[in-house]
Amino acid sequence: SSYSVFRTPAPAAKREAAPVPSLFSGDRVVHKKYGQGVVNKIEGSGDNAKIEVDFDEFGVKRFMLAFANLEKC
């Protein structure tokens, strides 16, 4: 008798969202990789919120707010 064994892939590790600081357009923030910048806009809410930051050295970057790891300056 012949049979095949199908392996299901292990579930991807779920990234934990960092606590989100209360941020608004115009706030100065700092990011571990990109340094300091200014919040241009925040769109959406909850887990789907997105943030756009204009960093001093790296220009405009967009992130999912829950995973952005930004701190207020």
For the beta sheet containing 70-72, the strands, ordered from the edge strand earlier in sequence to the opposite edge, are 59-64, 50-55, 35-43, 28-31, 70-72
pLDDT at 61: 98
Bridge partner list, 31: 35, 70
**Cβ proximity of 51 and 65 under 8 Å:** yes
DSSP for 7-26 reads: PPPPPPPPPPPPPPP---TT
Percent of the chain with pLDDT over 90: 64
pLDDT band per the 50, 70, 90 thresholds, residue 69: very high
pLDDT band per the 50, 70, 90 thresholds, residue 21: low
Handedness of CA 8, 9, 10, 15 (dihedral sign): negative
